[in-house]
Amino acid sequence: MISLKPLPISPTTQLQNLGWDWMLGQDTLPYLANEVVTIKSAEADAYYEAANELFEMFIAAGQQIIDENRFAEAGIPANLIELIKLSWNDDRHIHLYGRFDLAGGIDGQPIKLIEFNADTATCLPETAVVQYAHLRANGLDDSQQFNTLFETLTGQFEELLAVNPDLQPTLLLSAMRGFPEDDANVALLGEAAREAGYDIEFDFIDNVDFSAEEGIFWQNPKNGQFEKLDFWFKLVPWESIAEDEPELVQILTEIVRKRLAVVLNPAYTLLFQSKYILKVLWELYPNHPLLLETDTKPLVGKPCVEKVLFGREGANTRILNPDGSERQITEGDYGDYPKIYQEYVDFPKDSAGSSYQAGVFYAGEGCGLGFRRGGLILDNTAGFVGHVVE
């Protein structure tokens, strides 16, 4: 049974007391749980080691997709392939951060990879700030967490400057309009970049100007002047840009080719984001203790989970019984994407029957743990629960 520790002061109250509620957005605050998951030090170490090992495995699987030209099978839009190769073959295009979603890791259950949110992972404020503040508000030792996320992100931004000395330390961070949670995640990234020495600006993607000849520009509202920025972070999925803005893909390809800017996360992260890579991982590392069997057809005689290649927040997911009958399904907007089938595994559960999925952030190394709590399929209604290492 998972061990939960209810705390008298809620994370919402603590954030508001500190003036940090701006970081989260009003749609995020209600799902913050007023409990923490208790884990052992050895379990925290195992999550860290799993994230580091998995990232190396993802690099090998990404190289396999490129070498064998399996882009179409992975659902990669053809207009992104050139940009993916450009960024993959240039070590200056660092993968800034992502989040591994993992089953198990506590109560003696082995850690198993569910998927890698490599491109536009969220839950940054909750993981980096909320659970830390929650412990502090309740008189607990806030260092008793597997949580160096903010510091590690700052280090990643410093490394980006070090390997791109020909570019200026100017960073524009963009999200799409109407998503307060995305704004909060971008705000935290901006603070990490500021500490790393960047001049930062924020604006929605529809306000950004792109030129294949000159680079990426932002119009300063104070003087109306267009200012060039040499680094651009976009909390917008690469597959959405490829499908909805093909001309922008062409421009970004030229911008990267001509060293006019570095785009974060790089286009090659779509190789990791595609759930097809779970099948490639199983081919490369069959029966690896961190992996679940995955194929492009239902697994014979085994319970499995049907997922779309680019589904998000549990949408368009089906849990299938060993005989192929349906156990549970979620609807969504991603049903037209191809599907993969991953061996089903139980999540740790509490006494109320809620499931817990670990999220381990990776930013050059494993650096932060948090839990999402919900039903059999964790969707956009799932709550966030912090942790304490005892």
Which two structure tokens, joined as six digits, stand for 315?
A: 């949408």
- Own/partner pairs, 375-381, CB within 8 angstroms, 24+ separation: 375/328, 376/319, 376/327, 376/328, 377/314, 377/317, 377/319, 377/328, 377/330, 378/314, 379/313, 379/314, 379/315, 379/317, 379/330, 380/313, 380/314, 380/315, 381/31
Strand-strand pairing, 339-343 and 355-362: unpaired
Residue among 267, 284, 298 at smallest CA distance from 67: 284
Is residue 279 a part of any domain in this protein?
A: no
Regarding whether 91 and 118 lie in a shared domain, the answer is: yes
Note the pLDDT tens digit of each residue in 95-128. Answer: 999 999 999 999 899 999 999 999 999 989 889 9
Helical (H) or strand (E) element with 368: strand 366-374
Alpha-carbon torsion, ordered 41, 46, 47, 50, to 10 deg: 160
SS3 content of the chain, % helix, strand, coil (to 5): 35, 25, 40
Per DSSP (E only), the strands in 187-230 are: 199-202, 208-211, 215-219, 226-229
Residue among 92, 235, 238, 237 at smallest CA distance from 172: 235
Is residue 253 a part of any domain in this protein?
A: yes
Regarding whether 215 and 336 lie in a shared domain, the answer is: no
Successive 10-residue mean pLDDT values, the chain, 390 residues: 66 64 49 84 97 98 98 97 98 98 95 97 90 83 92 98 98 89 89 97 94 96 91 96 96 98 98 97 98 96 93 77 84 77 94 92 97 82 88
User: pTM score, two decimals?
Assistant: 0.93
| 3-class SS of residue 64 | helix
Domain range holding 301? 296-343
Regarding whether 370 and 332 lie in a shared domain, the answer is: no
Regarding whether 200 and 149 lie in a shared domain, the answer is: yes
Note the pLDDT tens digit of each residue in 302-337. Answer: 999 999 998 767 667 888 899 888 887 777 666 677
Please check whether residue 366 is in contact with residue 51, taking contact to mean a CB–CB distance below 8 angstroms. Answer: yes
The alpha helices in the chain, defined as continuous H runs, are 11-18, 41-67, 81-88, 124-125, 131-137, 149-163, 180-195, 238-244, 246-257, 269-273, 276-284
- Number of structural domains, the chain? 2
Is residue 280 a part of any domain in this protein?
A: no
Is residue 113 a part of any domain in this protein?
A: yes
Is residue 167 a part of any domain in this protein?
A: yes
Regarding whether 265 and 219 lie in a shared domain, the answer is: yes
Is residue 179 a part of any domain in this protein?
A: yes
Q: Which of 322, 343, 364 is the last residue of a domain?
A: 343
Regarding whether 303 and 155 lie in a shared domain, the answer is: no
* Residue 143 burial class via C-beta count within 10 angstroms: exposed 0-12, middle 13-18, buried 19 and up: exposed
Is residue 222 a part of any domain in this protein?
A: yes
Res 334: pLDDT: 67
Regarding whether 191 and 95 lie in a shared domain, the answer is: yes
Regarding whether 29 and 91 lie in a shared domain, the answer is: yes
Which two structure tokens, joined as six digits, stand for 126?
A: 């909750």
Is residue 284 a part of any domain in this protein?
A: no
The residues facing 263 across adjacent strands are 232
Task: Round to whole Å and give the CA distance between 306 and 299.
Answer: 10
Regarding whether 123 and 45 lie in a shared domain, the answer is: yes
Tokens 């062409």 found at: 250
Task: Round to whole Å and give the CA distance between 54 and 284.
Answer: 12
Res 17: pLDDT: 64
Which two structure tokens, joined as six digits, stand for 387?
A: 């942790």
Res 94: pLDDT: 97
Regarding whether 139 and 58 lie in a shared domain, the answer is: yes
Task: Round to whole Å and give the CA distance between 185 and 28.
Answer: 11
188-225: b (≥16 Cβ within 10 Å) or e: bbbbbbeebebebbbbbbeebebeeeebbbbeeeeeee
Regarding whether 353 and 319 lie in a shared domain, the answer is: no
Residue among 63, 52, 60 at smallest CA distance from 113: 52
Which two structure tokens, joined as six digits, stand for 304?
A: 């499995």
Reported as half-sphere exposure (CB side, CA atoms, 13 A), residue 148 has a value of 13
Regarding whether 332 and 361 lie in a shared domain, the answer is: no
Task: Round to whole Å and give the CA distance between 154 and 190.
Answer: 10
Res 382: pLDDT: 81
